Amino acid sequence: MKIRQAGELGLIERISKKIRLDKSVVKGIGDDTAVIKGTGNKYLLFTCDMLIEDVHFKRKQATPFQIGWKAMARNISDIAAMGGVPKYALVSAGLDPRLPVSFVDGIFDGINALAKKFKINIVGGDTSRSNKIVIDISLIGEVEKKGPVLRSGAREGDAIFVTGFLGGSIKGKHLDFTPRLDAARALVKNFKVNSMIDISDGLLLDLWRILEASGRGALLYEDLIPASNKADSFRQAVTAGEDFELLFTMSPKEAERFMRRYSMKLGVPVSLIGEVTSKRCGYRLIGKDWKEDRITGKGYCHF
Amino acid sequence: MKIRQAGELGLIERISKKIRLDKSVVKGIGDDTAVIKGTGNKYLLFTCDMLIEDVHFKRKQATPFQIGWKAMARNISDIAAMGGVPKYALVSAGLDPRLPVSFVDGIFDGINALAKKFKINIVGGDTSRSNKIVIDISLIGEVEKKGPVLRSGAREGDAIFVTGFLGGSIKGKHLDFTPRLDAARALVKNFKVNSMIDISDGLLLDLWRILEASGRGALLYEDLIPASNKADSFRQAVTAGEDFELLFTMSPKEAERFMRRYSMKLGVPVSLIGEVTSKRCGYRLIGKDWKEDRITGKGYCHF
């Protein structure tokens, strides 16, 4: 069997089975970031994200600044989706020796702009020759011990929310989005969020990940889902990757409190798009015509 | 100016200048790993290392197991060189979708073999399509607060030691070396080590890094330097990369105690190869013919 046939999820599952973790690991593979007890009064979050030329960006369609920005933003978005704060970054860069140094300056300026904005320390890295540009950033974050919001916490009856507008990111947003860190922190500080993920592979697949991890089903309402005016179609809006919006669930009571008192203060639009159901109710989308579609969770995958 | 002309060190210096760090960072760019205060009773060590096909290995000359092993071993070696213990790893893998899944299994088995040996938790990662195989591992380690052994601590009069035998690593050792973690831990637990580095770019360049960071010079004795019988020449033994031996310095008193009582118990041969001098004495190699060579620190660089 080839990697292409196994797919990204198959590959990760294969690897996960062989791993043994000690008790200091709260969450290993299978969430936005790993969660580690460490020796301190907070949990550590640990995540990495690899950006490869011609897979995640084209050299001619992205400025060096945008390449660096995107590499950093994706990682910060993962920390945000855990309810945490990013703190320390390492930058591995595979670079074509024929590139001008100004190109590297640009990439780094993009990384550094976000580092400054979110007070992240860039503490090291590695450089190597490479024909295709490869930027792999790893990030350590922190979260209060009661804090980390896992994918696995969704409960029956939870309201499902999403920030911003979905789809069409490929037309530009994927290169210059600001990770929803401030909104995520405001959320977890003021409300009990049961589960959260950042939408990197499309709403349908990423919600599927929450449902799988939580052992639940869901009902989504097409009418309520905020498609971007950049999206070509509703289908594209809910399956296209790289939105980097927050998708989260809360108990009905908490959701009511959130909507009444707070949703306007997050600095970002928030939409209620459906509810978590029991697993045997399945994963369904109610269309504008009130017809039901079963969702299988297909989204953007990397192989 | 192109990247090739700036070189790896030039590039890193360029980037370092733009970075601001907060007080929680004990050591940023410029040592084997970053050192972070964190919130716990130990310091965190944080490092990453990128392995790229046709730069660090050839697909036909290395087994998948060896590729994974090497990627992990290089990182562990960096933690060892700080006197620390590796704890948590993330694995980013850029993979050719046409590769058989068994190839990935092999890479991962290599990574996992070292993870098991040294009790490292593999807590996550990222996978992506890539024509060339790219493995970037980032590693969090821990070290006692009095513990981290920096490059900058070498003092005038320090004895300079190196483990193992140098050179010829390209003939195979670079693919299956065992990082000197146990030796490094035994060292720092029992002795005051003033400075340490792992030799990744050749003895001369890596000692130069210690001397630069410490503001010192050194005298090396060709007669004392343990060249591997795999090395083609003495010159090759002291300039070729990827030895991953430990290079460290201790005060004369501590060195004497070390040699008398302990050097045989590290489980690895250790050689005294010279001494640290003042900076104005320069960086010199005394040949077998007692002629002196000035050393400029040229070794293996990645661009």
Q: Which among B15, B21, B128 has the least Cβ separation from residue A55?
A: B128
Q: In angstroms, how far is CA A74 from the centroid of its own chain?
A: 7
Q: In angstroms, how far is CA A183 from the centroid of its own chain?
A: 14
Cβ separation of A97 and B4 shorter than 8 Å? Answer: yes
- Verify that A15 and A45 share a domain, yes or no: yes
The residue among B144, B179, B208 that closes a domain is: B144
- Verify that B38 and B173 share a domain, yes or no: no
Per-residue pLDDT, A302: 52
- Verify that A121 and A169 share a domain, yes or no: no
Evaluate whether B218 touches B276 at the Cβ level (below 8 Å).
Answer: yes
- Verify that A135 and A162 share a domain, yes or no: no
- pLDDT tens across B125-162, in order? 999 999 999 999 999 999 999 889 999 999 999 999 99
- Collect all residues of chain B within an 8 Å Cβ-Cβ radius of residue A93: 50
- Verify that A171 and A125 share a domain, yes or no: no
Phi then psi dihedrals of residue B255, to 5 deg: -60, -40
**CATH number of the domain that residue A209 is part of:** 3.90.650.10
Burial class of A291 by CB neighbour count within 10 A (0 to 12, 13 to 18, 19+): exposed
Instruction: Quote ipTM for the complex.
Output: 0.91
Cβ neighbours around A256 below 10 Å, total: 12
Mean pLDDT of chain B: 91
Range of the domain at A61: 3-144
- pLDDT tens across B219-229, in order? 999 999 999 99
Evaluate whether A147 touches A184 at the Cβ level (below 8 Å).
Answer: no
- Verify that A155 and A139 share a domain, yes or no: no
The residue among B144, B178, B211 that closes a domain is: B144
- Verify that B27 and B121 share a domain, yes or no: yes
Q: Is residue B300 part of a domain?
A: no
**In B94-116, which positions are buried (b, 16+ CB within 10 angstroms) versus exposed (e)?**
bbbeebebebbbbbbbbbbebbe
Q: How many interface pairs between A and B have CB atoms less than 8 angstroms apart?
A: 264
- Verify that B134 and B166 share a domain, yes or no: no
Evaluate whether A132 touches A53 at the Cβ level (below 8 Å).
Answer: yes
Cβ separation of B124 and A34 shorter than 8 Å? Answer: yes
A11, A121, A143: which to substitute to probe chain B, counting the most B Cβ within 10 Å?
Answer: A121
Share of chain B above pLDDT 90, in %: 74
Hey, what amino acid is at B25?
Answer: V
- Average the pLDDT over each of A160-174, B37-51, B259-273 and give the range with the smallest value: B259-273
Per-residue pLDDT, B303: 55
- pLDDT tens across B246-267, in order? 999 999 999 999 998 776 678 8
CB neighbour list of residue B18: distance below 8 Å, 6 or more residues apart: A108, A109, A112
Q: Is residue B301 part of a domain?
A: no
Per-residue pLDDT, B256: 94
B100 → chain A, closest CA residue? A2
- Collect all residues of chain B within an 8 Å Cβ-Cβ radius of residue A88: 25, 34, 36, 44, 46
B26, B43, B48, B116: which to substitute to probe chain A, counting the most A Cβ within 10 Å?
Answer: B48
The residue among A144, A159, A186 that closes a domain is: A144
- Verify that B118 and B253 share a domain, yes or no: no
Per-residue pLDDT, B264: 66
- pLDDT tens across B192-244, in order? 999 999 999 899 999 999 999 999 999 999 999 999 999 999 989 999 888 99
Q: What mean pLDDT is predicted for residues B265-280?
A: 93
- Verify that A193 and A92 share a domain, yes or no: no
Q: Is residue B275 part of a domain?
A: yes
CB neighbour list of residue B121: distance below 8 Å, 6 or more residues apart: A19, A21, A22, A24, A25, A28, A36, B87, B88, B89, B115
Residue A262 — pLDDT band, cuts 50, 70, 90? confident
Q: Which among B2, B21, B27 has the least Cβ separation from residue A100?
A: B2
Q: Which among B48, B52, B99 has the least Cβ separation from residue A125?
A: B48
Per-residue pLDDT, B49: 93
Q: Which among A6, A18, A48 has the least Cβ separation from residue B138?
A: A48
Q: Which among B28, B127, B302 has the least Cβ separation from residue A123?
A: B28
Residue A178 — pLDDT band, cuts 50, 70, 90? very high
In whole angstroms, give the CA distance from residue A148 to residue A247. 15
Q: Which among A36, A87, A136 has the least Cβ separation from residue B92?
A: A136
Closest approach of B81 to chain A, Cα-based (Å): 15
Q: Is residue A168 part of a domain?
A: yes
| Residue ranges with strand state E in chain B | 25-27, 34-36, 42-52, 85-95, 121-129, 134-144, 159-163, 195-198, 216-221, 246-250, 270-278, 283-286, 292-294
Cβ separation of A18 and B98 shorter than 8 Å? Answer: no
Cβ separation of A128 and B39 shorter than 8 Å? Answer: no
> Helix, strand or coil for residue B110?
helix
- Verify that B71 and B118 share a domain, yes or no: yes
Count up the domains in chain B and report the number.
2
Q: Is residue A299 part of a domain?
A: no
Per-residue pLDDT, A240: 86
pTM recorded for the entire structure: 0.93
**CATH number of the domain that residue A116 is part of:** 3.30.1330.10
Angle A70-A74-A79 (CA atoms, 0-180°, nearest 5)? 145
Q: Is residue A21 part of a domain?
A: yes
- Verify that B193 and B224 share a domain, yes or no: yes
- pLDDT tens across B73-125, in order? 999 999 999 999 999 999 999 999 999 999 999 999 999 999 999 999 999 99
A116 → chain B, closest CA residue? B20
Evaluate whether B178 touches B158 at the Cβ level (below 8 Å).
Answer: no
Mean pLDDT of chain A: 92
Q: What mean pLDDT is predicted for residues A89-103?
A: 94
Closest approach of A4 to chain B, Cα-based (Å): 5
